[in-house]
A and B are shown apart, each in its own frame.
Chain A
């Protein structure tokens, strides 16, 4: 077996309030209360610790030092900082942490103060990613975000002060009512902040969300792909101007600022998925936990792996995923991985200006700027 690195994803399914666009597996305190479960932030860390131990027992073949750890949500920072560091400590105890292990948490700018960040930093966290989304109060309102725009930069400064080497912000663009000026304001603020990484996502209206319903009722305009494409161009230009480069279609960083945990996803490495609804990958086996915190807690409490289902990937699935994931990266997709028919398509894509000619000559399919926006269609064309 080729040496595969191992990472860990820890899901924290709690939020202070639910944002209208969000379809993630997360719950507010009142939602959990309504569901009548005893699961709460207070008891969460202990169960996560139990699941970590359980996973190491049941998947003992895969126990090895972790290269990366990522806390996502929900809002991980709704848990006390000590809970997060305890969970990390357990991961270190059970699996071991590699020398330069990257440890990231997502954070809501509202839910942290300097002390909180200090606790994380001293507990081993190396990287923090703030959900800034937009600097426009109007856009934040459309997105139901609770923080005020300025709060992010305060939190970023604290993070730098307490010694986080890597600070990232998440942006959402193409929201209803967002103007070019709104986005420019956001980008100008990013340019003034000590961040080494930006993730920017065009707003996707997921069915079943409050936002989808609002748009369907005609109360908000639907985001337009053409507008999103133009905004993407603005973002790429601004971030490039800050010395960042894209390394994945929605991610930019200063040199050395890439999120190694996410790169491991795209390079099809292995990772643990801890917490309700978390996905794990073990060498071609994808498995995912039960979604609801109560169901998850019950299984963990009874000593069972809280797995809902799994999928053993076929050779073709693996090939498809490799194309789908590698193509999103600036490091690109080896043309040698393509069939003859797919190569013909790749050459057409080259003619259409979707792939970089120089890289192509070097045997790599690397998206051009235009190609980055049309990657999904190209992926399907390169599949057999």
Chain B
């Protein structure tokens, strides 16, 4: 006789196992989760759909998980005992390292899931290191062993080398067919320790995710460390000291199930009626207002935007819509910051701060898709700190803020990048990193033909088109992960692009002195092709301050007049000219130069496409 399914809020921590899956995009995490839902029987086969746990359309389409979610899986193990497995899903991308670290902090163990045909990727490796730092028990697993191209022996050896176990300890599964998944769940029960906490102590729960729902308000996902979080009680957010009442407490299994409380070691959700995820921040500690904990759990950090870009509606009259859309997205995105900005060339828009390029791309895509906006985004920018000769400092997130005058030094953010690449591309990767002002920190062979390279690189270089270049130069085989590590002084200048003597703010860029000329030439020649001839000659100049470093000329149009205009031509010609004039209204005026919107989009598009590829 099987024991009854343990009740949330009254579950013995000894039978709980909290774990996550560390995997690269496409290595089969969502499929493995689907199989776990089926094997544990929490999803009726009729209701099963692929990638069950991925909520947003964007997630399902792009095969990536942006926000994590936790699912409670009752599981009867081979020892015939009933267990409760909490699978905490983690976001799988470089921009969300902090969120990943909080999800890991909610677990005692992790499944390291690697594609048996591809081996480990840089981001997986980085997340593995994070998990090891959090003292998680690692269960190495090779997925897709059913594929003809699978090389389980080779990659088992690689994994064993990385985490220091025996190749025989590496489990082999096929999430697609379900082979080996039951065994894996039994290993989870066996190897991952049960959570340990003090049920009598003041309550402490770690927020590892926080999601805005139109109907329910903010849904906060927590892992209880000590004490109990009951329904209809006053909770307190330790970073802000704000208090809220728990209107609903529950677990996801895999649909929300309301309960009376969450106890030690349990993972579930809280609803308090707050409307903004900023009031319920990832990494914060929840305690009870009546009997608060003395100290929060460690590791809380404010989300810090690293990459900035101007977002402008293509149609200027959409500006209020864009503002409303950003206000709505912000409710669900604690890391998104923005403020109004005006560009001479692009009109009214917003300067937005993002965790990274993927975050930028996701926000932009959601704005376009969910709010039907057409947007131009300016080239992404990092944060510079400019110190003047007189000691005054400027924080620059937009080239237009770059001060003129005597500059003592400019600081730029740098990252520690990890690149995994087949060994045949080591030279290529090193060359690229060198071009991008990288400093090699070290290099290790993970296996005979795979190398891990560690570099310090300016974030600005990564933001530009580094990932694109890395992928194209290694035929897609290299993978990249990075984390910001601080600032460095660099020889940076602002390059302005002038049309007919007027600077076009949207095309200004802060670049390394050695690359200013190349940038200037690239932009000037690009614009020359994109801007139609005007009634007068239009010089395009790239300049650093007053010094012109590159120049192109759009020759003046010499003739626009249609030859004939007699009695029968008058109406037609008037209408033709009216139509042309109407078309010109959609052009942006830069000084007196009419620039078609397509020219802006095309001129700004390199960075755009880089961002797109990066998220794939």
Interface residues of chain A, those whose CB is within 8 Å of chain B, are 9, 200-202, 204, 225-226, 228-230, 232, 249-250, 262, 265-266, 271, 273, 277-281, 286, 288, 311, 317, 320-321, 324-325, 328, 348, 352, 354, 372-380, 383
Does residue B405 face the partner (Cβ distance < 8 Å to A)? Answer: no
Beta-carbon contact of B558 and A204 below 8 Å: no
- Point out the residues of chain B lying under 8 angstroms from A324, CB to CB: 565, 570, 573-574, 577
B584 → A minimal CB distance (Å)? 7
- Point out the residues of chain B lying under 8 angstroms from A266, CB to CB: 565
The answer to whether A348 and B559 touch (CB under 8 A), given A250-B564, A273-B568, A321-B570, is no
Which residue of chain A has its CB nearest to the CB of B564?
A: A201
Residue from the list B559, B562, B568, B584 in contact with A278, Cβ < 8 A: B568
Does residue B563 face the partner (Cβ distance < 8 Å to A)? Answer: yes
Beta-carbon contact of B564 and A325 below 8 Å: no
- Point out the residues of chain A lying under 8 angstroms from B584, CB to CB: 380
- Point out the residues of chain A lying under 8 angstroms from B177, CB to CB: none
The answer to whether A320 and B574 touch (CB under 8 A), given A204-B562, A229-B558, A377-B560, is yes
Which residue of chain A has its CB nearest to the CB of B573?
A: A324
- Point out the residues of chain B lying under 8 angstroms from A372, CB to CB: 561
Bound Cα distance from A373 to B571, whole angstroms? 21
Beta-carbon contact of A265 and B559 below 8 Å: no
- Point out the residues of chain B lying under 8 angstroms from A348, CB to CB: 592
Beta-carbon contact of B563 and A352 below 8 Å: no
Which residue of chain A has its CB nearest to the CB of B580?
A: A380
Bound Cα distance from A365 to B258, whole angstroms? 80
- Point out the residues of chain B lying under 8 angstroms from A288, CB to CB: 568, 571
Does residue B535 face the partner (Cβ distance < 8 Å to A)? Answer: yes
Does residue B557 face the partner (Cβ distance < 8 Å to A)? Answer: yes
Q: Mark B394-419, 1 if CB is under 8 A from A, else 0.
A: 00000000000000000000000000
Residue from the list B563, B567, B568, B581 in contact with A380, Cβ < 8 A: B581
Within 8 A of A (CB), among B335-393: none
Which residue of chain B has its CB nearest to the CB of A380?
A: B581
Beta-carbon contact of B561 and A271 below 8 Å: no
Residue from the list B536, B557, B561 in contact with A375, Cβ < 8 A: B561
- Point out the residues of chain A lying under 8 angstroms from B560, CB to CB: 225, 373-377
- Point out the residues of chain B lying under 8 angstroms from A352, CB to CB: 535-536
Residue from the list B557, B559, B571, B580 in contact with A202, Cβ < 8 A: B559
Residue from the list B561, B567, B568 in contact with A374, Cβ < 8 A: B561
Show 23 residue pairs from A and B whose CB-CB distance is below 8 angstroms, ordered by the A residue: A204-B563, A204-B564, A226-B559, A232-B559, A250-B563, A250-B564, A265-B567, A266-B565, A279-B568, A279-B570, A281-B570, A286-B571, A288-B571, A320-B578, A324-B573, A328-B565, A374-B561, A376-B561, A376-B562, A376-B580, A377-B557, A380-B580, A383-B578
Beta-carbon contact of B570 and A229 below 8 Å: no
Given contacts A372-B561, A374-B535, 18 further A-B contacts (CB under 8 A): A9-B567, A200-B563, A202-B563, A225-B558, A229-B558, A265-B565, A265-B567, A281-B570, A288-B568, A288-B571, A321-B574, A324-B570, A325-B570, A328-B565, A352-B535, A374-B560, A383-B577, A383-B578
Does residue B215 face the partner (Cβ distance < 8 Å to A)? Answer: no
A349 → B minimal CB distance (Å)? 8
- Of B559, B560, B570, B592, most A-chain CB atoms within 10 Å: B559
The answer to whether A325 and B565 touch (CB under 8 A), given A311-B571, A380-B584, is yes
Which residue of chain A has its CB nearest to the CB of B568?
A: A279
- Point out the residues of chain B lying under 8 angstroms from A230, CB to CB: 558
Q: How many A-B residue pairs have CB under 8 A?
A: 95
Which residue of chain B has its CB nearest to the CB of A7?
A: B567
Which residue of chain B has its CB nearest to the CB of A353?
A: B536
Interface residues of chain B, those whose CB is within 8 Å of chain A, are 535-536, 557-568, 570-571, 573-574, 577-578, 580-581, 584, 592
Bound Cα distance from A201 to B569, whole angstroms? 14
Bound Cα distance from A311 to B577, whole angstroms? 17
Beta-carbon contact of A373 and B558 below 8 Å: yes
The answer to whether A383 and B581 touch (CB under 8 A), given A279-B567, A321-B570, A352-B535, is yes
The answer to whether A229 and B559 touch (CB under 8 A), given A320-B578, A352-B536, A354-B535, is yes
Bound Cα distance from A174 to B307, whole angstroms? 53
Bound Cα distance from A67 to B551, whole angstroms? 57
Q: Which 4 A-B pairs have the closest CB atoms?
A: A229-B558, A201-B563, A279-B568, A229-B559
- Point out the residues of chain A lying under 8 angstroms from B570, CB to CB: 265, 279, 281, 286, 321, 324-325
Beta-carbon contact of A277 and B574 below 8 Å: no
Bound Cα distance from A281 to B573, whole angstroms? 15
Beta-carbon contact of B577 and A380 below 8 Å: yes
Beta-carbon contact of A273 and B567 below 8 Å: yes
- Point out the residues of chain A lying under 8 angstroms from B562, CB to CB: 204, 376
Beta-carbon contact of A377 and B567 below 8 Å: no
Residue from the list A226, A265, A286, A376 in contact with B566, Cβ < 8 A: A265
Bound Cα distance from A379 to B576, whole angstroms? 12
- Point out the residues of chain A lying under 8 angstroms from B592, CB to CB: 348
Bound Cα distance from A341 to B79, whole angstroms? 88
Bound Cα distance from A232 to B558, whole angstroms? 11
- Point out the residues of chain B lying under 8 angstroms from A202, CB to CB: 559, 563
- Point out the residues of chain B lying under 8 angstroms from A249, CB to CB: 561, 563
Beta-carbon contact of A379 and B577 below 8 Å: yes
Bound Cα distance from A281 to B560, whole angstroms? 27
B568 → A minimal CB distance (Å)? 4
Beta-carbon contact of B561 and A277 below 8 Å: no
Bound Cα distance from A348 to B580, whole angstroms? 20
Bound Cα distance from A128 to B557, whole angstroms? 35
Bound Cα distance from A352 to B537, whole angstroms? 10
The answer to whether A228 and B559 touch (CB under 8 A), given A9-B567, A325-B565, is yes
Bound Cα distance from A229 to B578, whole angstroms? 24
- Of B561, B577, B578, most A-chain CB atoms within 10 Å: B561
- Point out the residues of chain A lying under 8 angstroms from B574, CB to CB: 317, 320-321, 324
B71 → A minimal CB distance (Å)? 61
- Point out the residues of chain A lying under 8 angstroms from B571, CB to CB: 279, 286, 288, 311
The answer to whether A374 and B557 touch (CB under 8 A), given A317-B574, A380-B577, is yes
- Point out the residues of chain A lying under 8 angstroms from B563, CB to CB: 200-202, 204, 249-250
- Point out the residues of chain A lying under 8 angstroms from B566, CB to CB: 262, 265
Bound Cα distance from A323 to B446, whole angstroms? 77
B582 → A minimal CB distance (Å)? 10
B565 → A minimal CB distance (Å)? 6
Which residue of chain B has its CB nearest to the CB of A229?
A: B558
B207 → A minimal CB distance (Å)? 58
- Point out the residues of chain A lying under 8 angstroms from B536, CB to CB: 352
Bound Cα distance from A209 to B579, whole angstroms? 22
- Point out the residues of chain B lying under 8 angstroms from A277, CB to CB: 568
Beta-carbon contact of A226 and B573 below 8 Å: no
Which residue of chain B has its CB nearest to the CB of A249?
A: B561
Bound Cα distance from A228 to B562, whole angstroms? 11
Bound Cα distance from A383 to B582, whole angstroms? 11
Which residue of chain B has its CB nearest to the CB of A259?
A: B566
B571 → A minimal CB distance (Å)? 5
Beta-carbon contact of B558 and A226 below 8 Å: yes
- Point out the residues of chain B lying under 8 angstroms from A375, CB to CB: 560-561
Bound Cα distance from A204 to B565, whole angstroms? 12
Beta-carbon contact of B577 and A374 below 8 Å: no
- Point out the residues of chain B lying under 8 angstroms from A201, CB to CB: 563-564
- Point out the residues of chain B lying under 8 angstroms from A383, CB to CB: 577-578, 581
Beta-carbon contact of A373 and B561 below 8 Å: yes
Beta-carbon contact of A373 and B559 below 8 Å: yes
- Point out the residues of chain A lying under 8 angstroms from B573, CB to CB: 324
Bound Cα distance from A265 to B560, whole angstroms? 21
- Point out the residues of chain B lying under 8 angstroms from A262, CB to CB: 566
The answer to whether A271 and B567 touch (CB under 8 A), given A324-B574, A354-B535, is yes
A222 → B minimal CB distance (Å)? 14
- Point out the residues of chain A lying under 8 angstroms from B577, CB to CB: 320, 324, 376, 379-380, 383
- Point out the residues of chain A lying under 8 angstroms from B565, CB to CB: 265-266, 324-325, 328
Bound Cα distance from A40 to B562, whole angstroms? 32
A275 → B minimal CB distance (Å)? 11
B43 → A minimal CB distance (Å)? 60
Bound Cα distance from A335 to B9, whole angstroms? 86
